[in-house]
Copies of this chain bind each other. A is one copy, B any other.
Amino acid sequence: MRRPLTVGVIGLGYWGPNLLRVLADDPEVAVRWLCDRDAERLERFARRHPWAQTTTRLEQVLDDPETDAVVIATPLSTHFELAAASLAAGKHTFVEKPLAPSAALAGELLARAGRASRLLMCGHTFLYSPPVRAARLMLDAGALGDVYFASSSRVNLGPYRNDVSVVWDLGPHDFSILLYWFGAPPETLRATGRAALASGIADVAFVTMTFPGGVVANVELSWLAPSKLRRTVVVGSEKMLVYEDGAAEPIRVFDRGIQLGTFGRPALSYRTGDTISPHLDGREPLAAELGEFVRAAREGDPLHAQSALALDVVRMTEAAERSLLQGGVAVAVSDGTVAEPRRFRPQAPDVLVEEPAA
């Protein structure tokens, strides 16, 4: 058996313990360092992981030549600094999502990883979840026909964040899934929301996107909801797909649709076939994700597609936040500038608005 990949885990707050648990269970990994600024918290985790060393100073981890890789689960504002230091120390680096607090910083991290020839991977766990992957397979196979639009809700009562808005907290989940499914970022997006609880931190937002080819998506993000819902509907010309994370049947495929006639007046018909809930593999997404990180670190696979997607997620999030701050103006995802709105049907006369007859 090969020598395990030696890993330092940085940050043991909300999400870090999950990463630690999965890494500790992976026979291909040796958790060599636990690092957190809170000494008491460190002590608590040390008890369950007696073979790992603990430190409150990142430098100790980075200076250890026996450490192959670093896994970072700290607040967003620190992602760039910590990941840049890790890459500079020659460590393969995993950063929790989103990769960085701006597209410029995210791009810079990618560039540095390239120069250092080290793996940089961002923790978009949903891309490793069986329902998200099953939906991607169906979309790739064209099973839905032409995709018309997507509508998503990701809401719950908290957990509230006081460092970033709901757009930065929850948006990257939906943005990563839509990018993974549709293969390209939207051209423009708009976001409207509200900072209901604390001035300056939006706790609800509605983001509307237009993808190349005309696919429209609407994403509702909120920390203020009576119950948890994480549900995305994708409507195509042949099938409609409902993905509900955490449901007993997370993917449901509806063979339903409307056909219009082609000549003269429409001879409308409705198609209503069977509904199928495909059986999905039960693998834990986090284990699949970290397994991919470990494999790629060992094989020198730079995971270019994953990195490019992580950068696009930051571009979308940044654009959504900017639109939100400016009252919903259209923002171009490519460069974050305010965009010219794309008219829906510019050639058609605005027939519905008539003047009174007299």
A residues near B (Cβ < 8 Å) are: 48, 50, 80-81, 84, 101-102, 104-105, 107-108, 146, 148-149, 151, 153, 157-158, 160, 162, 164-165, 168, 190, 192-200, 202, 204, 206, 208, 210, 214-216, 218, 220, 222-228, 233, 235, 237, 240, 242, 248-249, 252, 254-258, 260, 265-266, 268, 270, 272-279, 318, 321-322, 324-330, 336, 341-346, 348, 350, 352-357
The residues of B that contact A228 with a CB separation of less than 8 Å are 248
The residues of B that contact A107 with a CB separation of less than 8 Å are 356
| Also in contact, A148 and B196, with CB within 8 A (given A160-B268, A235-B225) | yes
The residues of B that contact A108 with a CB separation of less than 8 Å are 356
> Is A202 a contact of B344 with CB atoms below 8 Å?
yes
- For the complex, give the distance between the alpha carbons of A228 and B226 in Å: 21
> Is B206 a contact of A206 with CB atoms below 8 Å?
yes
> Is B353 a contact of A341 with CB atoms below 8 Å?
no
> Is B200 a contact of A345 with CB atoms below 8 Å?
yes
Known: A151-B153, A208-B208; 7 extra A-B contacts, CB below 8 A, are: A102-B354, A107-B356, A149-B194, A190-B192, A218-B220, A224-B235, A224-B240
- For the complex, give the distance between the alpha carbons of A258 and B148 in Å: 36
Cβ distance A317 to chain B, nearest Cβ, rounded Å: 9
- For the complex, give the distance between the alpha carbons of A146 and B220 in Å: 20
Contact of A149 among B196, B326, B341, B344 (CB under 8 A): B196
> Is A208 a contact of B210 with CB atoms below 8 Å?
no
> Is A226 a contact of B206 with CB atoms below 8 Å?
no
| Also in contact, A105 and B356, with CB within 8 A (given A258-B224, A324-B344) | yes
The residues of B that contact A222 with a CB separation of less than 8 Å are 149, 151, 235
Cβ distance A199 to chain B, nearest Cβ, rounded Å: 7
- For the complex, give the distance between the alpha carbons of A190 and B153 in Å: 19
> Is A327 a contact of B342 with CB atoms below 8 Å?
yes
The residues of B that contact A225 with a CB separation of less than 8 Å are 233, 235, 240
Closest 8 CB pairs of A and B: A327-B341, A226-B254, A148-B196, A275-B277, A226-B240, A108-B356, A206-B218, A327-B342
> Is A276 a contact of B279 with CB atoms below 8 Å?
no
| Also in contact, A206 and B204, with CB within 8 A (given A344-B195, A353-B322) | no
Cβ distance A172 to chain B, nearest Cβ, rounded Å: 13
Contact of A158 among B84, B200, B270, B318 (CB under 8 A): B270
> Is A350 a contact of B328 with CB atoms below 8 Å?
no
Measured CB to CB, the nearest residue on chain B to A348 is B200
> Is A190 a contact of B328 with CB atoms below 8 Å?
yes
